[in-house]
Amino acid sequence: MKPPMHVAKENEVASIGLPRVPKQDEQTAVLKKLDDLRSSMRSLMVMLENCTKCGNCAKQCHSYLGTEDYHNFPAARADLMRRIYKRYFTWTGRTFGRFFGADDFDADTLSKWLTYFYQCNECRRCAKFCPFGIDTAEVTIAARHILSEIGIMPKFMQGIAVNMNKTGNNMGIPQPAIVDCAEFMEDEMREETGLDIKIPIDKPNSDILYIPSSADFFTNVDTMIGAAKLFHYLGVNWTIPSTVLEAANFGLLFNLNVMREHNQRLKAAATAVGAKLVIQGECGHGWRAAKAYTDGCSAPVSFEIVHILDYCDQHLGKLPLKKLPLRATLHDPCNYARAGEIVEQPRRIMRACVENFVEMTPNRDENFCCGGGSGILMDEMMEIRMKLGKKKAEQVIALGKLDYLAMPCSICKAQIPVVMKYYGVDDLMMGGVMDLVGKAMILGEA
């Protein structure tokens, strides 16, 4: 089976410290990693041992609904690992084999893992509906971690790892370019408002450390501008670290050691400027990594961690907002709604910023993923990505004519516009929630 993405070459994986294990040693290495993980990650062990195969998750998974590929049905996806796990780590599997759903590790095992664990968006919708609380994302995270530890990963992930090593952000934006981008955005805001609104980079002694998404310094400029206007209006002492221009933590999406390193980088940046408050920008899985994983990676930390939408919502009453004449809806990023408790905040903000806010169905913690989650943004997987985004497109189309689709997560911002265009909707503005705040806020003479 040929995986649908470009796979990183041996020299490429070696360059990020995850050398490829020789073919003949793969099985031993994988089983060793699996053994390590099962004895250090309770969720993995319990979730592999407790599926009753009721099949309830099939109808809840956008990946299966969109691709109609059996192995994208969450229980079947997890079974790719479960069958190996049973065969080598349970008595019944070793003794009775297939009777108990155990299979030998074979030549196809890892290519199947690579193919299907990278068609899971780790959106956790299956966990929401599983009567036993089985979270397939945990299995996916483990499978991707094992694969990357033996040097198998998509080229896309490897490229991001290179950038993160070099610059601390996914896009590989070096410090001088960050400063240049900030100055450009300051100019833009000056032209618009006549005010001197700063985007301070690496300013020592800052109370607040803002961690944007590096995509805000490339494509999603308005999200950054919205946040800068908010901080300006509130008159707070804030800065952006050039060492961590990235709320995203792609380590969570392919290798947990890389995840830990990036998380510790965040702690170092906050400590360096003496920040008491770290505010995470519009990034879904990055918010999960910061909120749920900092404890296990970098504890103890001496700062508070909040999300920009939570922070904005706390100050919503004081902001000079004028409602924009838009019919707008919100796509809940999975990691906000199911892993990060950012649910009502963006709704309150949007209601304050637009005249007509409508809900798509289902929403909040039952929302469907955009289909790009967990970093499945490779161009070569475009066809699959469009299938993964099918449910989302249907949800948006069902709302009729819209002016604005808010999706406060950089992966969603990269995925959904392509999906909507593919399914025939291109007369629609799309962007973040902070974008709306920036546009609805009346500052200066404008």
Partner 1 sequence: MSMVEINGQQIEIDEDGFIVDPAVWNEGLVSYFAKQEEVPELTEDHWKVINYLRQYFKQFGIAPMIRKLCKDTGFTLKEIYELFPSGPAKGACKLAGLPKPTGCV
Partner 2 sequence: MLYFVGQIFPYIAAAVFLVGMIWRVWTWLNVPVPFGLTLSPAPRTLTGKAAAFGRELALFRSLWSGDRGLWLAAWLMHVSLFMVIGGHIVGISTLGNEFTAIGLTSEQSQRVSGIMAVASGLLLFFTLTVLLYRRTAIPEVKRLSDPADYFDLMLILAVVVSGLHMRLTSIEVDIAAVRAYMGGILSFQPVPIPNEWIFISHFFLVNLLLLYFPFSKLVHLAGSMVNQAMLIASPPVYPSSMKVDSSRVQSNVQIWRGGSQQ
Pick out residues in 99-138 that bind partner 2 (CB under 8 A): 99-101, 124, 127-135, 138
The region of 179-187, 199-207, 310-318, 423-431 touching partner 1 under the rule CB under 8 A is 179-187
Partner in contact with 170, chosen from partner 2, partner 1, none, beta carbon below 5 to 8 Å by kind: partner 1
DSSP code at position 51: -
Q: Within positions 184 to 223, which residues make up the interface with partner 1, using CB under 8 A?
A: 184, 188, 213-215, 217-219, 221
Within 13 A of 252's CA, how many CA atoms are on the CB side? 28
| Total site size for partner 2, rule CB under 8 A | 73
Q: Does 46 engage in binding with partner 2 (CB under 8 A)?
A: yes
The region of 8-16, 220-228, 288-296, 405-413 touching partner 2 under the rule CB under 8 A is 288-296
Nearer to partner 1, 196 or 380 (CB): 380
* Best CA proximity match to 7, nearest among 228, 204, 157, 188: 157
> Which member of 109, 170, 294, 345 binds partner 1 (CB under 8 A)?
170
CA angle, 319 as apex, 270 and 286 as ends, to 5°?
35
Q: Does 159 engage in binding with partner 1 (CB under 8 A)?
A: yes
Partner in contact with 40, chosen from partner 1, partner 2, none, beta carbon below 5 to 8 Å by kind: partner 2
Partner in contact with 377, chosen from partner 1, partner 2, none, beta carbon below 5 to 8 Å by kind: partner 1
Going through 294-393 in order, the beta strands assigned E by DSSP cover: 304-307, 324-330, 354-358
Other beta carbons within 10 angstroms of residue 200's beta carbon come to: 16
> Which member of 36, 68, 344, 380 binds partner 1 (CB under 8 A)?
380
CA distance 185 to 176: 14
Question: What is the 3-state secondary structure of 165-213?
Answer: HHHCCCCCCCHHHHHHHHHHHHHHHHHHHCCCCCCCECCCCCCEEEECC
Helix (H) or strand (E) holding 158: helix 155-167
Partner in contact with 380, chosen from partner 2, partner 1, none, beta carbon below 5 to 8 Å by kind: partner 1
Phi first, then psi, for residue 408 (nearest 5°) are -80, 60
CA distance 3 to 368: 25
Partner in contact with 70, chosen from partner 2, partner 1, none, beta carbon below 5 to 8 Å by kind: partner 2
Q: Does 49 engage in binding with partner 2 (CB under 8 A)?
A: yes
Partner in contact with 160, chosen from partner 2, partner 1, none, beta carbon below 5 to 8 Å by kind: partner 1
Partner in contact with 403, chosen from partner 1, partner 2, none, beta carbon below 5 to 8 Å by kind: none
CA distance 142 to 134: 14
> Which member of 31, 41, 162, 324 binds partner 2 (CB under 8 A)?
41
To partner 2, the closest distance from the beta carbon of 247 in angstroms equals: 15
Grouping H, G, I as helix, E, B as strand and the rest as coil, residue 220 is coil
Q: Does 169 engage in binding with partner 1 (CB under 8 A)?
A: yes
Q: Does 36 engage in binding with partner 2 (CB under 8 A)?
A: yes
DSSP code at position 278: E
| Total site size for partner 1, rule CB under 8 A | 35
CA distance 371 to 385: 6
Q: Does 414 engage in binding with partner 1 (CB under 8 A)?
A: yes
Grouping H, G, I as helix, E, B as strand and the rest as coil, residue 405 is strand
Partner in contact with 418, chosen from partner 2, partner 1, none, beta carbon below 5 to 8 Å by kind: none
Which burial class, exposed, middle or buried, applies to 52 when counting CB atoms under 10 A from its CB (0-12, 13-18, 19+)?
Answer: exposed
| Tokens read off for 168 | 């601390």
Residue 344 is which amino acid? E
To partner 2, the closest distance from the beta carbon of 302 in angstroms equals: 5
CA distance 226 to 248: 19
Partner in contact with 237, chosen from partner 2, partner 1, none, beta carbon below 5 to 8 Å by kind: none
- Residue-level length of the chain: 446
Partner in contact with 132, chosen from partner 2, partner 1, none, beta carbon below 5 to 8 Å by kind: partner 2
Q: Does 300 engage in binding with partner 2 (CB under 8 A)?
A: yes
To partner 1, the closest distance from the beta carbon of 237 in angstroms equals: 26
The strands making up 324-330's β-sheet, listed across from edge to edge, are 354-358, 324-330, 404-406, 429-431
DSSP code at position 154: B
To partner 1, the closest distance from the beta carbon of 159 in angstroms equals: 5
The footprint of partner 1 (CB under 8 A) covers 6, 9, 155-156, 159-160, 163, 169-174, 176-177, 180-181, 184, 188, 213-215, 217-219, 221, 248, 283, 377, 379-380, 410-411, 413-414
